[in-house]
Structure 1
Amino acid sequence: MNTSTTSSYRHKKVRRTVTVLAAAAVVGVFSAIVADTLKVITEHYEHDFVHRLAENQYLIFFLPFIGFTTIHILRQFLFKNKPNKGIKEVLDSINNGGKTLPAYKIPSHYFNGFLTVIFGGSTGIEVSTVVATASIGALSSHKVGHLNKYRTDLVCAGLAAGVTALFNAPIAGFMFAFEVFTRKRNKTHLAALATAIFTSYILTRYFFYVKVFNFEVTVWHKEALPYFVLLGILAGFNSVFLTKSVLFCKKFFGTLRNDYVKIIAGSLIISTLIFFFPSLYGEGYSGIKNLTSITQPSDLYILLPFVVILFLKPIATSVTLGAGGDGGVFAPSLFIGAFLGLITALTLNYFFHLDLIALNFIIIGMAAVLSGSIHAPLTSIFLVCAIADNYVLFIPIVIASLVSWLVAHFIFPYTVYTYKATV
Structure 2
Amino acid sequence: MTHSQIKRRRSLIKFRKITVASVIIGCLSALLAVTLKHLTDQYEHRLFTQASLHPWLFVLLPFIGLGLISLLREYLFEKKPNKGITEIFECTQSKKKNLPAYKIPSHFFNGFLTVVFGGSTGIEVSTVVASAAVGSVVQQKANFFREYKTELICAGVAAGITALFNSPLAGIFFAYEVISRKISKTFAWAVAVAIACTSVLLYYLAEPRLFDINPTGWYYRAVPYWLILGILAALLSIYLTRCVLFFKSRFQPINARQRMVIGGAILSLSLLAFPALYGDGYHALKTMFITPTTTLTLPVVCATLGVLLLKPIVTSATLASGGDGGVFAPSLFLGAFLGWLSAMCANAFFGADVVPLNFMLVGMAAVLSASIHAPLTAVFLVCGLTGNYVLFVPILGVSLLSKYVAKAVYPHTVYSIHKIAAQVPSR
Please give the range of the TM-score, normalised by the shorter of the 2 chains: over 0.9
Give the CA deviation at 1:124.
0.3
Query: What is the SS of the residue equivalent to 2:130?
Result: helix
Tell me the amino acid that sits aligned with residue 279 of structure 1.
A
Distance in 2 (CA, whole Å) between partners of 1:343 and 1:421 is 34
Correspondences of 1:228-247 after superposition (within 5 Å):
228-247=226-245
Aligned match for 1:265, one of 262, 265, 289: 262
Cα contact 1:291–1:342 (8 A) shared by 2: no
Superposed CA offset, 1:324-356 (max 9, x none): 000000000000000000010001111111111
Cα contact 1:334–1:369 (8 A) shared by 2: yes
Give the CA deviation at 1:298.
5.2
Give the CA deviation at 1:296.
3.5
Tell me the amino acid that sits aligned with residue 259 of structure 2.
K
Cα contact 1:88–1:418 (8 A) shared by 2: no
Cα contact 1:161–1:197 (8 A) shared by 2: yes
Aligned match for 2:72, one of 71, 74, 82: 74
Cα contact 1:36–1:208 (8 A) shared by 2: no
Query: What is the SS of the residue equivalent to 1:200?
Result: helix
Query: What is the SS of the residue equivalent to 2:304?
Result: helix
The match for 1:355 is 353
TM-score (norm 2): 0.96
Aligned CA-pair RMSD:
1.2
Cα contact 1:375–1:415 (8 A) shared by 2: yes
Give the gaps of 5 or more residues in structure 1.
none
Give the CA deviation at 1:144.
2.0
The match for 1:42 is 40
The alpha-carbon distance between structure 1 residues 315 and 210, as it changes in their structure 2 partners (threshold 3 A), is same
The match for 2:104 is 106
Q: Kindly, what percent of the aligned residue pairs are identical?
A: 47
The match for 1:376 is 374
Cα contact 1:168–1:205 (8 A) shared by 2: no
Distance in 2 (CA, whole Å) between partners of 1:56 and 1:37 is 28
Distance in 2 (CA, whole Å) between partners of 1:9 and 1:241 is 53
The match for 1:212 is 210
The match for 1:280 is 277
Give the CA deviation at 1:185.
2.3
Distance in 2 (CA, whole Å) between partners of 1:272 and 1:351 is 33
The match for 1:58 is 56
Tell me the amino acid that sits aligned with residue 344 of structure 1.
S
Give the CA deviation at 1:399.
1.1
Hey, which bits of structure 1, 4+ residues long, moved more than 3 A? 298-301
Q: Does 1:31 align with 2:33?
A: no
Distance in 1 (CA, whole Å) between partners of 2:50 and 2:89 is 39
Superposed CA offset, 1:297-346 (max 9, x none): 25344321011101110001000000000000000000000000001000
The match for 1:147 is 145
Distance in 1 (CA, whole Å) between partners of 2:325 and 2:158 is 17
Distance in 2 (CA, whole Å) between partners of 1:302 and 1:282 is 21
Aligned match for 2:113, one of 107, 112, 115: 115
Tell me the amino acid that sits aligned with residue 165 of structure 1.
A
Distance in 1 (CA, whole Å) between partners of 2:299 and 2:47 is 31
Correspondences of 1:169-180 after superposition (within 5 Å):
169-180=167-178
Q: Does 1:399 align with 2:391?
A: no
Correspondences of 1:333-344 after superposition (within 5 Å):
333-344=331-342
Tell me the amino acid that sits aligned with residue 219 of structure 1.
G
Distance in 2 (CA, whole Å) between partners of 1:139 and 1:196 is 15
The match for 1:86 is 84
Give the gaps of 5 or more residues in structure 2.
422-427
Cα contact 2:296–2:344 (8 A) shared by 1: no
Distance in 1 (CA, whole Å) between partners of 2:359 and 2:366 is 10
Superposed CA offset, 1:204-237 (max 9, x none): 2221502211112121111111111111100000
Cα contact 1:169–1:383 (8 A) shared by 2: yes
Distance in 2 (CA, whole Å) between partners of 1:33 and 1:232 is 35
The number of residues matched between the two structures is 420
Distance in 1 (CA, whole Å) between partners of 2:305 and 2:115 is 23
Tell me the amino acid that sits aligned with residue 422 of structure 1.
I
The match for 1:324 is 322
Cα contact 2:73–2:81 (8 A) shared by 1: yes
The alpha-carbon distance between structure 1 residues 320 and 208, as it changes in their structure 2 partners (threshold 3 A), is farther
Cα contact 1:363–1:388 (8 A) shared by 2: no
292-301 vs 145-154, which moves further: 292-301
